[in-house]
């Protein structure tokens, strides 16, 4: 349900006026033919403003004054709005069966030096943020454990509110793999994260730079697409592996496969105009490609790739958060709380097309 909401950045009240280049600022207020758009001032913009004023030796109230006012007036409004929305969303979800969730952590700095992290949980069917947990690294014995703790807290809240899960899609964080295995929650890997962590594209680009492997350049995009298609079109782990490895036949112009889980390509039989693109078994290019696509780690991850939903909307949400709470401005947890919740309340739905990487046909050439 989309309701006009004063907290929404896109909300434009009927009585507002917008200033344009031709605006006559001296006009009588009784004839408001122009509109002033509602806007949100990002805290990092204010911080820059404080620095500029200081450099110019101009008087301005102190940053601590801004924080005090924000704490007294802005924060309670944001927290109230967020809690009200969250309660309603969780109530709705508790009446549904088999909710599919996506989860990911955003930390204030990369690597092991992060002090704070916010774990976001999204309902992937509706693309709605449903929970956000803030974790401090010294609460959990180091930044490495923050993601695990954020997920645990989020799942505990969902259980308390009676939300039943079908599955959860995350990156391939080792602690989370083990934890979800123990709790018997169906766990899938996000394809983008999997591909990124495995570094497959980079690896193949590197191989294709080899003089005898130049032919692989024609297949780089197809192999990447094939990974998303494999995830989206399969219903079981063995089927995913069978489809994934079938590409080693396809690139040799062989379209029937030994594995019964995927006995033949789904594309229509066709004669290719560019016969030079087909690889030959036993060549250096083919052997290197085969080794890269079928190593144990890749096959293990391919087996667990998410079949229905990906967490690209979470990535988009984290990019939005950066505008409200830039990584360097995690000054203290309280500051982090309201600047991270603000986008949650103002962005009920993220404009990210779901499954935008997933393909409708088998191979692209």
Q: Residue 268 CB, nearest distance to Zn ion (Å)?
A: 10
C-alpha dihedral sign at 160, 332, 82, 135: negative
Pick one of 247, 265, 289, 305: the residue that binds Zn ion (CB under 5 A). 265
Mark the segment that binds Zn ion (CB under 5 A) among 114-122, 194-202, 251-259, 301-309: 251-259
Of 37 and 361, nearer to Zn ion (C-beta) is: 361
114-132 in b/e form (b: 16+ CB < 10 A) is: bbbbbbbbbbbbbbbbbbb
User: Looking at 193, 240, 243, 250, which residue binds Zn ion (CB under 5 A)?
Assistant: 250
Q: Nearest approach, Cβ of 229 to Zn ion (angstroms)? A: 12
Q: At what angle do helices 191-198 and 220-233 cross, to 10 degrees?
A: 140
- Give me the least distance between CB of 258 and Zn ion, in Å please: 14
Please identify which residue in 125, 218, 255, 318 interacts with Zn ion, judged by CB under 5 A: 255
Q: Give the whole-angstrom CA distance, residue 159 versus residue 148.
A: 16
Sheet holding 99-107: strands in order across? 128-136, 116-123, 99-107, 165-170, 186-189
Q: Which part of the chain contacts Zn ion (CB under 5 A), choosing from 108-116, 148-156, 174-182, 242-250?
A: 242-250
How far lies 171's CA from each of 14, 47, 102, 131, 253, in Å? 43, 33, 9, 17, 34
Residue 276 CB, nearest approach to Zn ion (Å):
17
220, 205 contact by CB (below 8 A): yes
**Residue 277 lies near Zn ion (rule: CB under 5 A):** no
Work out how close the CB of 282 gets to Zn ion at its nearest, in angstroms, rounded to a whole number: 20
User: Taking contact as CB under 5 A, which single stretch among the options 91-99, 136-144, 165-173, 247-255 is the one that binds Zn ion?
Assistant: 247-255
Block residue for tokens 């191989």: 207
Q: What are phi and psi of 257, to 5 degrees?
A: -130, 155
The residue among 79 and 254 lying less far from Zn ion, judged by its C-beta, is 254
Q: Count residues near Zn ion (CB under 5 A).
A: 3
Host H or E run for residue 153: helix 146-160
Element at 168 (helix H, strand E): strand 165-170
Cβ proximity to Zn ion: between 265 and 321 the closer is 265
Contact letters (x/-) for Zn ion, 200-239, by CB under 5 A?
Answer: ----------------------------------------
What are the residues binding Zn ion (CB under 5 A)? 250, 255, 265
């Amino acid at each position: 349900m989309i309701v006009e909401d004063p907290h929404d950045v896109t909300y434009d009240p009927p009585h507002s006026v917008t200033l344009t280049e031709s605006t006559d600022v001296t006009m009588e207020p009784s004839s408001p033919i122009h509109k002033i758009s509602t806007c949100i001032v990002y805290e990092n913009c204010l911080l820059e403003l404080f620095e500029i004023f200081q450099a110019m030796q101009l008087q301005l109230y102190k940053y601590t004054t801004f924080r005090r006012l924000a704490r007294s007036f802005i924060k309670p409004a944001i927290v109230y709005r967020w809690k009200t929305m969250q309660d309603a969303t969780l109530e709705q979800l508790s009446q549904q069966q088999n909710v599919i969730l996506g989860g990911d952590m955003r930390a204030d700095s990369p690597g092991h030096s992060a002090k704070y992290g916010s774990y976001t949980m999204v309902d992937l069917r509706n693309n709605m943020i449903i929970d956000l947990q803030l974790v401090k690294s010294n609460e959990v014995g180091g930044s490495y454990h923050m993601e695990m703790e954020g997920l645990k807290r989020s799942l505990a809240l969902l259980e308390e509110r009676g939300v039943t899960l079908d599955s959860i899609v995350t990156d391939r964080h080792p602690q989370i793999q083990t934890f979800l295995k123990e709790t018997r929650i169906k766990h899938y890997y996000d394809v983008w994260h999997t591909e990124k962590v495995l570094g497959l594209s980079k690896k193949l680009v590197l191989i294709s730079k080899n003089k005898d492997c130049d032919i692989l350049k024609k297949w780089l995009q197809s192999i990447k697409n094939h990974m998303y298609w494999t995830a989206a079109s399969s219903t079981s782990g063995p089927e995913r592996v069978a489809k994934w490895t079938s590409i080693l036949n396809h690139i040799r112009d062989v379209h029937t496969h030994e594995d019964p889980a995927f006995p033949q390509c789904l594309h229509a039989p066709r004669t290719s105009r560019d016969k030079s693109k087909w690889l030959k078994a036993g060549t250096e290019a083919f052997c290197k490609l085969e080794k890269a696509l079928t190593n144990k780690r890749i096959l293990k991850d391919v087996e667990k790739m998410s079949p229905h939903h990906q967490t690209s909307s979470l990535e988009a949400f984290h990019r939005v958060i950066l505008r409200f709470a830039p990584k360097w401005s995690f000054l203290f947890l309280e500051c982090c709380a309201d600047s991270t919740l603000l986008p949650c309340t103002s962005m009920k739905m993220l404009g990210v097309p779901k499954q935008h990487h997933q393909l409708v046909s088998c191979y692209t050439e």
